[in-house]
Amino acid sequence: MPITTTPKIWMNGKLVDWDKAQVHVLTHTLHYGTGVFEGIRAYETDKGPAVFRLTEHMQRLINSAKILGMPMPYSLAELVQGVKDTVASTGLPSCYIRPIAYYGYGEMGLNTLPCSVDVAIACWPWGAYLGMTPSKRACA
């Protein structure tokens, strides 16, 4: 399923235009696979989109980074706010959210200590990617 773009992506603490959210082809994580991510949903409610277990997801992202020895440059509160800001910037009633932390451009080799840790949060509209749930199939 193709990705439907949204206006902004949160990159290293700032909302940037979708098309300007780019990384270099020699970004460390692209070569060594040393990154972490979460997959989160925001659901439509009467009060606007509500992110399912947001704090728990962001804590798991931090914990995953710690397992890799990746120092997270943002606090739990900053990451939670980053998700909220990104979701709000889309104007969508519901969406899929993909936060990712990765070693950035500028160093190559197995030693990650000199590498920057970059964080991005993107979201886009995405329906059920595994098809209809069994209960919805029964009603169809």
- Taking only the tens place, the pLDDT of each residue in 23-48 is 999 999 999 999 999 999 999 999 99
pTM: 0.89
Domains assigned to the chain: 8-139 (3.30.470.10)
Tens digits of residue pLDDT in 101-131: 999 998 888 999 999 999 999 999 987 655 5
Give the side-chain half-sphere CA count within 13 A for 42.
28
d(CA 19, CA 37): 20
